Chains A and B, each alone.
Chain A
């Protein structure tokens, strides 16, 4: 449906700040390599500042959360309740379970000390008593790498008791999850860290910055966000804010997967390139003989984009835009203007061999499986949507199923305890909105045996 030519020579170049050592064959994840490249010097710089000053730099930098929500980290730190007298906790959300996302893995396996240094700076800035890294259990070796890195850091006085010889101590504990996507939700993570079933909490009143871990003020940040903290202190908040675009500062690691020639992780300044340049330039375009059908730009929770869609409107700064899918800038506000979101940065590319209803069924099965089951709409609605799409892919599709799916998704959105409800509803809503014919035609196709050569997605 869509094919564009991209001039390779004109392509923007990656700017690897976080991933500068990720593919260096001479760089291992041991502290000796990190120190060799000037590691932990920024920690010393931060400790020479006052904690509030560090927080100010992060606020000035305008860095937005890289976990999916895109909430400015400096502002989140400002909401922290420092007057309660209760201990403060810092948690790194290393659960990375959003389908299409695989950036935090690279940081933790290949350059773990960057995360540790970032966390210690952040802990110092917010006055944390203890810090945790909540890592998904499927990262078996990752947990071991982090444990070893923490021991190395402790030996050098960069972590644990009396950091850098000061009277500030903060222990860092690696806590493994056990295979649940809902542990990526910040209050679900906190419940899991407390040893309970990871049921997210109702907000209000349980905002983590006020009532978090053990009902104490807690900050939960993504791996990439915490690594950015180090670089912000390094170059200063103002300088950092010059990278990227206003309100979309710094670099982002984009993870491209699906049916492109060169999938993988790429770090660019925010807004440096468009979706079209990414897919057809950086990632080498689609597989031979294929044409683009759909793109999910921000992990499977983001709304899908149709290849031939056009997006018109006005940006926040007043400029008008009239984009094709290939024109959407890769930052935070671009995808939002196009009615979707950049989420966790996981770009999933689908070509014309994909049966859209099967893709929908695959996604619905994911959400039905991962729903924690606490609140009614998500629990019953996600399973219902899975059952509908599964039936549709087994020859039992009816024409009214498209409307039914949309109605069920609309009944989930906005009515749940946590954003999982939106994450489960948005894919269905956007697929039906943009590919309604595919769903309606599924009924007309009737009960036909699967074509052996077709791509099975459910």
Chain B
């Protein structure tokens, strides 16, 4: 099929690997959309049409999915995307304050992308780590207990690009036991 979207070899080969895993092509839709979105940042209408063709569907079949799921996008988020949980358990521990802090510090309203495209903020539903709320996901890393003053420090480090190397904020993923001992 013609590579109209100019996807990388890696993405194309991953798509080719994932589609045959399912008894029916249509089932691969979400996985293929994730792969395309991971590379292009979003799935716009031409990408919808390409995915539809790849899976023997009509474009509306794909657009129905993109607009249904909050994590699938027609327009890309910023270079760094921050998700804050707003559901009750995290809200009880101050996530609304955390979201306000991040809005102020990052200079972007929730649900929007900053004008320079560097950051975007999303106030999301339950991220399934409620015991350590408020939970903030930056790109693919899950940070816990981000509230009050801690949220201010967190935002500052994020702005400076020093979050990953920080010792105070270790993501859930980085906190897992890494090597077999």
Contacts and interface: CB of A to CB of B under 8 A. Distances in A.
Contacts of A85: none
A192 B22 contact: no
Interface in A2-53: 24-30, 32-33, 36
Contact of B176 (A28, A32, A99): A28
Contact of A366 (B65, B68, B71, B87): B87
Contact of A171 (B21, B64, B128, B173): B21
Contact of B71 (A26, A173, A179, A362): A179
B145 to A, nearest CB: 10
B108 interface: no
Given A28-B176, A32-B180, A195-B29, A137 B88 contact: no
A257 interface: yes
A457 B133 CA distance: 14
A179 B68 CA distance: 9
Given A130-B23, A178-B71, A28 B178 contact: yes
Interface string A162-174: 0000000001010
A102 B88 contact: no
A354 B92 contact: yes
A101 B27 CA distance: 27
A258 interface: yes
A109 B88 CA distance: 24
A180 B181 contact: no
B88 A101 contact: no
Interface string A341-375: 00000101110001000010011011001101000
Contacts of B170: none
A180 B70 contact: yes
A61 B117 CA distance: 55
A138 B92 contact: no
Interface stretch (A259-267, A317-325, A329-337): A259-267
By size class, the interface of chain A is 35 or more
A105 B97 CA distance: 26
Nearest to A179: B71
B176 A101 contact: no
A366 B90 CA distance: 13
Given A102-B130, A263-B130, A366-B88, A30 B180 contact: yes
A258 B89 contact: yes
A341 B23 CA distance: 37
A197 B65 contact: yes
B103 interface: no
B24 A137 contact: no
A259 B178 contact: no
A109 B132 CA distance: 16
Contacts of A258: 88-89, 92-93, 130
A20 to B, nearest CB: 14
B177 A263 contact: no
B156 to A, nearest CB: 22
B126 interface: yes
A231 to B, nearest CB: 22
A109 B131 contact: no
Contact of B23 (A25, A180, A214, A265): A214
A226 B128 CA distance: 19
Contacts of B70: 178-180
Contacts of B88: 99-100, 258, 296, 300, 348, 359, 362-363, 366, 457
A194 B26 contact: yes
Given A137-B71, A363-B88, A366-B88, A195 B28 contact: yes
Nearest to B23: A214
A258 B176 CA distance: 24
B179 to A, nearest CB: 6
A456 interface: yes
Nearest to A456: B96
Contact of B125 (A96, A100, A369): A369
Contact of A257 (B64, B125, B130): B130
Interface string B139-181: 0100000000000000000000000000000001100111111
Interface string B44-64: 000000000001010001001
A394 to B, nearest CB: 15
Interface of A: 24-30, 32-33, 36, 87, 96-102, 104-105, 109-110, 130, 136-141, 171, 173, 175-181, 192-198, 214, 255-259, 263-265, 296, 300, 346, 348-350, 354, 359, 362-363, 365-366, 369-370, 372, 455-458
21 contacts: A28-B181, A29-B177, A105-B128, A177-B69, A178-B33, A178-B69, A178-B70, A179-B70, A195-B24, A195-B57, A197-B64, A256-B131, A257-B90, A257-B93, A257-B130, A258-B92, A263-B133, A359-B88, A365-B86, A456-B91, A456-B96
Interface of B: 21-31, 33-34, 55, 57, 61, 64-65, 68-72, 83, 86-94, 96-97, 124-133, 137, 140, 172-173, 176-181
